[in-house]
Structure 1
């Protein structure tokens, strides 16, 4: 049976840490707790569970903290965890079975990360695979009987283990602060981070967060971008235009978005909001309908589901059409029910 180091980076997690550590008991042969500046009882709780506790000076870099935690691990495999995760009894058994029968060539195990939509995370899937268990030391292996070469790709196994994500709240304000600091320092954001920044804006950003991000996303247009990324940028800039009630900016970005092919739900939604705020409910209905039924979301799945449906209900309510208003209210209610959505 393999041994496992569980590695966590934490700060002020006293409300959820014991729940997480309890679910790791018997699964982890050691628990590495890297604290980035807690002022509550986080470290005391960790000590009660026998964690190996290390302090790490926070440098606005989660990757650096994760790397530090991995350096402290000493077992065969490293399991990366967050304090707001839980493994229930059924999945604890699956994890233990995995420890006993994992094939030695497997270097990464993916597990199902669940419960995301309920807590308004930056992902548009309630359940998705994420790499969670990593072989600590890699064995290099030659391949092919002639013109032999070293295998570069890791061997990945998709397990049936489910990790339940149960955060107390949304961390977007913390992330917005990190994004702003990186941009001010001139640190280039990867394509993935640019997308995540836009996602967080559309999931939990307030008007001021969008306006603070506007110059950055405008600046991205100075370089050649793939259509996929252009549509994300257009979503952000269209929202900024609506916040500022700048019809020219809305028109410029929305038309380009529509011209790309299939328009983005977020753009259609914001154009609908623009006309709704102007009192043109007939025009608003067209755009909200397109957001709900004729387009695809780029950043937040709710802009193609309940959000435009609710706006359709409000538009018909303002127009005095009670029947249509109730119809779309009911559709919006069903859209919130994930089972109804799946059906």
Structure 2
């Protein structure tokens, strides 16, 4: 089986050599599509291939990837980002995979590993579709956080891809989300969820505010419970950051009919009551956050909730005397220790 390495790039001079040096030798063809680099990206790429194409950027990752896929000619296409690479052990795994792959397999998933701080992952690693059978004529969908449907025959491999971004691209993504909404008047359900996750985990107060202008319209429409909870959690966070108690009540009360509200909404209530000096109520909601399931940010049910409990009990210890104060102090120290020892899951 032959493999095309296929990439879309822009201003990746700091990481591109690391990527191409590790992956290009394993592939039969290297296709690079540049979307407007102003640095030495194309010069670096030219050391590995002469198949370098320009594509005018139109705020649509799927359009760029579909163009890049159209330039490939091998049996399979490996879609890589410039800030990922394979270590020596996984180069061997990749070679063995290609030697043994069943031609009926149309998509191969690989472990996408982020050893550092993650922008959207809720574990250190997750499976992502990375290798695609070319002649199936795959189509990328959605203008940002693009994906290929996994309806065909899928194989989960043991290959681990190291993803070490130089920086996050949240500002770029937020701009695309906003442009899609203002152009189409809506987002897909998947993009509402991705937008909410990025805002909740990484958005600045101003970015969250702009997103909430979109979410306030969206929650009045037909929406599944999980996506609605995600949007309401971001709206609640915005209300909390702006000390908007009526807004906090408005958005969190929408979840009274949900049997088990997500960790993020519970965490926002905990933060709200803590900021208001209501430490017993804060501890109750931090505890709920630690016991519920997160939809966007695993930290909301993990170290963030545990540390909130520690802070709340520390305040209650300061406000009480004697044995009661000692009990609260012990609880504070216990939850702080649990927060310190908490680790992101290896894989979900």
TM-score, with normalisation over the residues of structure 2? Answer: 0.88
**268-277 or 64-73: which moved more?**
268-277
Task: Return the alpha-carbon distance in structure 1 between the equivalents of residues 207 and 74 of structure 2.
Answer: 42
Alpha-carbon shift at residue 79 of structure 1 (Å): 0.6
Rounded Cα–Cα distance in structure 2 between residues aligned with 1:120 and 1:157 = 25
Per chain length, whose mean CA-contact separation is higher, i.e. which structure has more relative contact order (CA < 8 Å, sep 6+)?
2
Partner of 2:186: 188
Whether the aligned pair in 2 keeps the contact of 1:7 and 1:78 (CA below 8 Å) is: yes
2:50, 2:269 → 1: CA distance?
52
* Contact 2:123 2:344 (8 Å CA) reproduced: no
Q: Partners in 1 of 2:266 and 2:20 — Cα distance? A: 44
Residue 314 (structure 1) aligned with residue 321 (structure 2): no
Check if 1:265 corresponds to 2:263: yes
Alpha-carbon distance in 2 for matches of 1:25, 1:210? 39
In the TM superposition, what is the alpha-carbon distance from 1:172 to its structure 2 partner? 0.9
Query: How far 1:88 moved relative to its partner?
Result: 1.2
Distance 1:289 1:221, change over 3 A: same
CA displacement at 1:260 relative to structure 2:
0.7
On the 8 A contact 2:35/2:55 being kept in 1, the answer is yes
C-alpha distance in structure 1 between counterparts of 2:69 and 2:185, whole Å: 25
- TM normalised by structure 1 equals 0.89
Partner SS for 2:46: helix
5+ unaligned residues in a row in structure 1: which ranges? 140-151
- Which residue does the alignment assign to 1:304? 301
Alpha-carbon separation, structure 1, partners of 2:344 and 2:78: 33
Q: 1:218 aligns with which of 216, 227, 238?
A: 216
* Other-structure match for 1:199: 197
Residue equivalent to 1:6:
5
Flag the 1:166–1:51 CA change in 2: closer, same or farther, 3 A.
Answer: farther
Q: Deviations over 1:6-26 (max 9, x none)?
A: 111111111111110011132
1:115-194 alignment runs, 5 A limit: 115=114, 118-138=116-136, 153-186=151-184, 188-194=186-192
Q: Give 1:265 deviation, angstroms.
A: 1.0
Alignment of structure 1 residues 20-31 onto 2, 5 Å = 20-31=19-30
In structure 2, the CA distance between the partners of 1:311 and 1:51, relative to structure 1 (3 Å rule), is farther
Counterparts of 1:208 and 1:317 in 2: how far apart (Å)? 31
Match of 2:234 in 1: 236
TM superposition shift of 1:193? 0.7
Does the 8 A contact of 1:119 with 1:169 survive in 2? no
Secondary structure class of the residue paired with 1:25? helix
In the alignment, the residues of structure 2 paired with residue 198 and residue 131 of structure 1 have an alpha-carbon distance, to the nearest angstrom, of 23
Give distance in 2, aligned partners of 1:13 and 1:322.
50
1:107 aligns with 106
Aligned length: 326
| Structure 2 gaps, min length 5 | 138-149, 319-327
Deviations 1:19-54 (A, max 9, x none): 100111321111111111111111111112235211
Partner of 1:144: none
Q: Does 1:330 align with 2:330?
A: no
Name the structure 1 match of 2:147.
none
